[in-house]
Amino acid sequence: MDQRLNGDIANASSPGAIALEDRWCAHTYKPLPVVITRAQGAWVHDDAGRRYLDMMSAYSAVNVGHSHPRILKALTEQASKVAVVSRAFHTDKLGPFLARLCALTGLDGACPMNSGAEAVETAVKAARRWGYRHRGIPANQAEVIVASGNFHGRTTTIISFSSEEAYREGFGPYTPGFRVVPFGDLDALAAAIGPNTAAVLLEPIQGEAGIVLPPAGYLKGVREACDFAGILMILDEIQSGLGRTGRWFAHQHEGVKPDGLCLGKALGGGVLPVSAFVARRDVIDVFDPGSHGSTFGGNPLAAAVGLEALAVIEEEGLVQRSAELGAHLMDRLRALNSPLIRDIRGLGLWVGLEIDPARATARQVVEDWMRRGVLSKETHDTVVRLAPPLMIAPEDLDWAVDRLAETLSAFA
């Protein structure tokens, strides 16, 4: 076994730590049996000192890598001055951060929040008020069109338009005002647009659904349908944005521009929850004092870290790196030619492997891969996700694929 594994990791978990977490923490996740205590770059260590390659990046929150020195420097320097100030006052950090974010997106204004779900909630509120003020939709009748298979978060409003029963069961009554259409079906989307439609809200690539890409030209078709109907096109790029797919934003692969954009995860540099809803001027200006807000959203610590995260992605060439290494990763995965893999789909350093359920579950695959020194996570029982930090070394990426080949061979 490769020396990077630092010995046998078949029993890598700490039973005491896992039992304590299991006793006191709500069971909202099903973690792999490993206890992470420190991390650097693309590698993490457990409580026994064993090392693993991170192929998850905290669902794309760690695009720049763990404990990036520039991010930590921005964090500690700002924290030593002022970390949190109410938005009742101005700071010297928020303006530069949002100005840079708007310049990158080509949009006009932003509402800073914390989690990705909050960014989506902000987008829904903006779309509804915009529909009443700019489209003349009758009060409390605004509708937003979404796609089946979506994942935009787990708040009560967001699960109301989820098509995944596991996210909804037992949490009703559900929030009205949403129409669900098949992802990738332009005809269904066009048919769903009505006089009360304010916006279409989509992920350019569906992450939690299993890294599902729409047909070529789909986003262009959505843009055209929204323009024809005079409604908003809002994209959720919380996972797909900030370099993950080999462009700054996934929608750039089709040359479209949304009216609103939800961002998060990697915006916090892997150390803080930082998110934002960025939009054109007439959309962001529907908010006025008291209509929306967040105690921590836009705090100077988050703004300083967010600005540095954007600078690191740009100055270290992580977008281009994602494109180049992503193409190499797809070539390596296709060359595995394993009977366990039914499909390989992805873009940049974001790939889903569809596992044949007759041979193994995705959970079994990721658990075996973990024992060989690589950390990933399954989704929907059949898909293994690959989303390493964008700064991953090519030789480490190849090492992970070699370990995956061993795992697939073991099940075959």
- What amino acid positions are annotated as catalytic residues? 151, 236, 265
The set of residues, in sequence order, having a beta carbon less than 8 Å from that of 122 and lying 6+ positions away, is 111, 113, 262, 277, 292
Task: With beta carbons less than 8 A apart as the criterion, state whether 261 and 279 touch.
Answer: yes
β-pair partners for 234: 201, 260
CB 114 within 8 A of CB 296: yes
Phi-psi region of 374 (alpha: psi -120 to 50; beta: other; left: phi over 0): beta
Integer Cα distance of 29 and 274 in angstroms? 21
Instruction: For the chain, give the secondary structure using H, E and C.
Output: CCHHHCCCCCCCCCHHHHHHHHHHCCCCCCCCCCCEEEEEECEEEECCCCEEEECCHHHHCCCCCECCHHHHHHHHHHHCCCCCCCCCCCCCCHHHHHHHHHHHHCCCEEEEECCHHHHHHHHHHHHHHHHHHHCCCCCCCCEEEEECCCCCCCCHHHHCCCCCHHHHCCCCCCCCCEEEECCCCHHHHHHHCCCCEEEEEECCCECCCCCECCCCCHHHHHHHHHHHHCCEEEEECCCCCCCCCCCCCHHHHHCCCCCEEEECHHHHCCCCCCEEEEECHHHHCCCCCCCCCCCCCCCHHHHHHHHHHHHHHHHCCHHHHHHHHHHHHHHHHHHHCCCCEEEEEECCCCEEEEECCCCCCHHHHHHHHHHCCEECEEECCCEEEECCCCCCCHHHHHHHHHHHHHHHHHHC
Look at residues 57, 260, 231 and name the one whose alpha carbon lies nearest to residue 136.
231
